[in-house]
Structure 1
């Protein structure tokens, strides 16, 4: 349930609630067939308006920027569909908005839908179900082409000022603070204040949700709520992790991918500037600060409904974790759904519940209906495929950061994990092998292997729940001038989970369809159904984090290492909510390159130093520890591991999907969507 907010916010909302309640009562009187019904309290918007007869129009909004340097202020294309009846009666309505770079290049949703237009350029198809479902219920749906994409001017700058301003300008226009035009180059004005209440809810998956985060972090008036799905909160952390490069660690290729062909013809200089400003080395620059919304969480005035896949290896779970923690610290109203999927929209893993919940969410925050959605549990967590639990507050109030410590075991690379510090001088050593990764390490957790150091608890006597973000502090001595590190938490024991490594990232798309709203010949409300795609596994990776050891002294600047010298640094692991069942074991693995997810340390680097050998890392166990968010804290860990000596439940080596690392999640151009 959204938490109580600052007093100033409560005062502003209480006033708005009165206004919204009056508007709701008026709406009920106008659409209810009997006087008795007109007296009933309004708790849900109904599909009383014609979707077929809805107004469909395009507007170009002035952003005030000249991203392509042509001497003219860039205008972004805004496609609108809204019910005709309120406009005819002089009533104004709220807006649901999805600002995206993908409407022309790549499509939206599980079926890759794109915008379509008639011969005159008027919008026909709006991707996804938002228009079909909400327009008959008295909302406008607005689909914004980010600068440089589809029918907009300018150049996409991958999360920078142009991206965010593209959407902010539209919110301003809906509130009468910006200029809109009926054509891309003309001077005839288009005004939204005749039909828009100015209340906007932004929604979107991946890049679209990232834009919602960015606009909310400005604190723009009129943005009442955002629903970021699998969204980025810091673009640096999409391409790097504490100095270590992830994937193709430069955003300029994304700009080229989403820009319209004519924009790419004029935006080469912009893309060159992005490349220069966001170096592969992972050093922090002003460009990354511009694309980091976390420090501005205190400016957020909108409520926030976060949705994320805990096994999302595209937009990884650290993105929602750091954003959520920042929002919590500043008292922002918020709610969260965490699934077992990868990069998947909730419409495709929990469809009926999602549509019902989203409907009530928008009704409350945009129409002011007192339907109780703000008093429901804050968190929905998927525990097993299609099995969900709720938490009144997330993380639960009983969660405590608890220090666990690695110790030596019966063989090199096979250690213990508990509360007792290792003896002074105890060490473990591994050699980076870029051909292996977290799945390979976990499958051989009980074997003495050269590529990892593993530390394992006893089999648990009770369930043990992790809820939130973890850190792992290591004191490591490298043999080379550069070294990358990976820390992984693993639940060792058999389970059936969503197969996030397979195509679909945890879902299977079926042939039959179900309908969610009204349709026209050019815009169907019927979408292919899905079901959970599962895998039987012997272990589950719970959380992961990566770092360049060269950032030990300064997270924003890497430095060459002195071989043979010990360095201490803390790795940040992605947020999670996972229950390790009784009978399973919890493992901490420390390794080098996590194949398919982390680039190996280079033989030569843009930082000006080089190496020719593979890093070997020695861990000082007495100065290495993990801080885990355990529900119940240290007492819960002690109870879970007490009296459990005996046969270990060792994984058989069968990895997720019967293969090695889930490489299908390695992004290709456009996969951020």
Structure 2
């Protein structure tokens, strides 16, 4: 397909999606009332303003923090694009804002776009399509450099007070509560703004949106966190286990836009206060745990997340979602099969249509019915989408599943289980994931495998599974890891390869363009393959944190302990004929770092249970002694090599 034809097809598709609601109402006013702005057409906004002639300006907004300790309040840089025609007519507009640490160092989106500026230092190109699409429709767009990054002053404290306060200050400035300055240092206000702000962003950017919403700042009407963090502890620690060493410092150094000496003290505090030596949850992590302040959230929330995201794992959205639900916060959810991806690169036309209607409702106040639609949009298999009333799926119930001894090599999952006192033991072998999950009926040191029988009907898992284990450990601690695996041939998203999305040669355009900032992006497609198994979800725990994440409780070798290991949230339908597997291991070099190896763990099967959130009255058939599950051969052992560096950037693409 040629680029021109691709653009035309995308435009036609999106037009149809946007105009399926009520016909546009005339824009003339009732007698005695002012005429509605031309960008308002009934229940949606339309592109009537020139993007090429838009006002482009760069504003420094003063924050309440002095992170670099220079005696002067920090300033974040706000690069703005807004309609010139509304400014000339005295019509105020709402603001869509993406606050990011990546505008200078790493870029945004699938094509890693960066900001560019004209000779006067004023924004010429903002990454992504938000300004191209929404500015002609009566919105302003703000691309904000977070404290200590790009052209901002201060220091980046990785999810902490300075980062959140800097982005919040922009919302305050747009509402007349904070000070702004031109590049020449002259005071400037946002008199053109309605004060209604919607924050959007992927991963780190979306995490900032979560953090600002948790302050309860007035004027922030909605947030759209995509693959976002709601607790930085859960991102850098897996229930007491170190994901990677020196992680906070690594993230700070990657995005830092200041001279190293300006932020040396902040960097030292990141290293000292994050408690890497213990893995404990402390005051440092509490400051970066936005779920603790969920009761302050005033904004509506549109969450998007890939169910196979191994960078920002699904527990981040699920625990945030549950907390929002408890507070009855208006919310919607998109879940898709890819990994750490933006839905713009998964289901482009439908996502843009959803964003358009969401912002029209929450920022323009247009009664388009978006909040009367099903709350959850899900991709249940590659390219198969559905909508449901809520998430987890309505009717989901937590079902306990017994662990059985099986044939001595492979245990059973479901059925009568094992009597108390039936014990199986395994010694830490630091296995890679392929070694852990392949050939489940083959004896392999370092793991325990439990299999159901072949499913007699499809099994829907929707929510957060967990494993309750009764264990005895011959060391003061060890890493514990667990996986749910779908054994059976199916076409699956290959999320370990480019997050499950490939970039195509064609492109499509989403909004208006200028010479400096085009609205055209390379098209994408899911990467799929027919495989004989797929890992559904994973979970990890440092056994010495079984009582609390705030302190360690070393294990005694003569005692039995009950530990609960939550797995990451998931949503999947296992077809009839497939087999569900639970695989237990210890240290996990592909995901965590630990020096606590070589432990032997004994598991009392009769007092251990898998809890699964399932819909309907589905049950797991008991497995035969030797279930007929064919899998690929295991990867060659890498022995006891040092674990790889598991540090990732939360949201480069």
Cα deviation for residue 596 of structure 1 reads 0.7
User: Does 2:538 match 1:540?
Assistant: no
Task: Report the Cα distance in structure 2 between the residues aligned to 1:29 and 1:258, rounded to whole angstroms.
Answer: 43
CA distance in 1, matches of 2:293, 2:514: 41
Match for residue 608 of structure 1? Answer: none
The range that moved more, 573-582 or 646-655, is: 646-655
User: Do 2:27 and 2:42's aligned partners in 1 also have CA atoms closer than 8 Å?
Assistant: no
Partner-residue secondary structure (3-state), 1:410? coil
Q: Distance in 1 between matches of 2:321 and 2:236?
A: 20
Aligned to 2:38: 31
Whole-Å Cα distance in 2 between the matches of residues 647 and 101 of structure 1? 53
Alignment partners' CA distance in 2, 1:573 and 1:249: 25
Q: Tell me, what secondary structure is at the counterpart of 2:406? A: strand
Shift of 1:462: 0.4
Give the aligned partner of residue 283 of structure 1: 280
SS where residue 71 of structure 1 aligns?
coil
In the alignment, is the contact (CA less than 8 A) between 2:591 and 2:646 conserved in 1?
A: no
* Structure 1 residue 78 corresponds to structure 2 residue 78: yes
Q: CA-to-partner distance for each residue in 1:333-387, whole Å, 9 max, x for gaps? A: 1111111111111111111111111111111111111112111111111122221
SS in 1 for 2:442: coil
Unaligned runs of 5+ in 1: 1-20, 33-37, 604-612
Residue of structure 1 equivalent to 2:618: 636
Residue 450 of structure 1 deviates from its aligned partner by 1.3
Q: Match for residue 143 of structure 1? A: 143
1:245 is aligned to 2:242: yes
What is the root-mean-square deviation of aligned Cα atoms in Å? 2.4
Could you give the per-residue CA deviations for residues 526-579 of structure 1, whole angstroms, max 9, x where no partner exists? 011111111221111111110000012222212332234322111111111111
Residue 422 (str. 1) matches residue 422 (str. 2):
no
User: 1:228–1:23: structure 2 CA closer, same or farther, 3 Å change rule?
Assistant: farther
Are 1:551 and 2:535 matched, yes or no?
no
Q: CA deviation at 1:113?
A: 0.5
Determine the C-alpha separation between the residues in 1 that align with 2:273 and 2:502.
40
Partner of 1:312: 309
Any idea what the Cα deviations from partners look like across 1:115-163, whole Å, max 9, x if unmatched? 1111110110100000000000000000110000011110000000011
* 1:286-313, Cα deviation, whole Å (9 max, x unpaired): 0100000112222111111111111111
1:514 is matched with 508
| Structure 2: gaps (5+ residues) | 1-25
CA spacing shift, 1:24–1:546, aligned 2, 3 Å = farther
Matches within 5 A, 1:147-158: 147-158=147-158
Q: How does 1:339-350 map to 2 (within 5 A)?
A: 339-350=336-347
Alpha-carbon offset, residue 23 of structure 1: 12
Could you give the per-residue CA deviations for residues 372-409 of structure 1, whole angstroms, max 9, x where no partner exists?
21111111111222211111111122111111111101
Using the alignment, how far apart are the partners of 1:571 and 1:140 within structure 2? Answer: 45
Shift of 1:328: 1.0
> How is 1:494-505 mapped onto 2 (pairs within 5 angstroms)?
494-502=489-497, 504-505=498-499
| Deviations 1:63-121, CA, capped at 9 Å, x for gaps | 01110000001111000000001110001000000000000010000000011111110
Q: Is the 8 A contact 1:313 1:343 kept in 2?
A: yes
1:670 aligns with 2:652: no
Paired residues of 1:45 and 1:137 also in contact (CA < 8 A) = yes
- Residue in 2 aligned with 1:201? 198
Aligned to 1:651: 630
Structure 2 partner of 1:431: 427
Q: Is the Cα contact below 8 Å between 1:538 and 1:655 reproduced in 2?
A: no
CA separation of 1:27/1:111 partners in 2, compared to 1, >3 Å: closer, same or farther?
A: farther
**Residue 519 of structure 2: which of 518, 521, 525 is its match?**
525
Name the structure 2 match of 1:360.
357
Look up the SS of the partner of 1:641 in the other structure: coil
Structure 1 stretches of at least 4 aligned residues deviating more than 3 Å after TM superposition: 21-30, 644-649, 663-672
Query: Which residue does the alignment assign to 1:3?
Result: none
Q: CA deviation at 1:668?
A: 4.7
Distance 1:665 1:381, change over 3 A: farther
* Aligned 1:166-177 pairs, distance under 5 A: 166-177=166-177
The match for 1:56 is 56
Structure-to-structure mapping, 1:261-660, within 5 angstroms: 261-262=258-259, 264-280=260-276, 281-412=278-409, 414-434=410-430, 436-502=431-497, 504-600=498-594, 602=595, 614-632=598-616, 635-637=617-619, 641=621, 648-653=627-632
- Structure 2 residue aligned with 1:113: 113
Q: Any idea what SS the aligned residue of 1:597 has?
A: coil
Query: Distance in 1 between the 2:448 and 2:34 partners?
Result: 64
Change (3 A) 1:598 1:430: same
Q: Please report the TM-score for the alignment, with normalisation by the length of structure 1.
A: 0.88
TM-score, with length taken from structure 2: 0.91
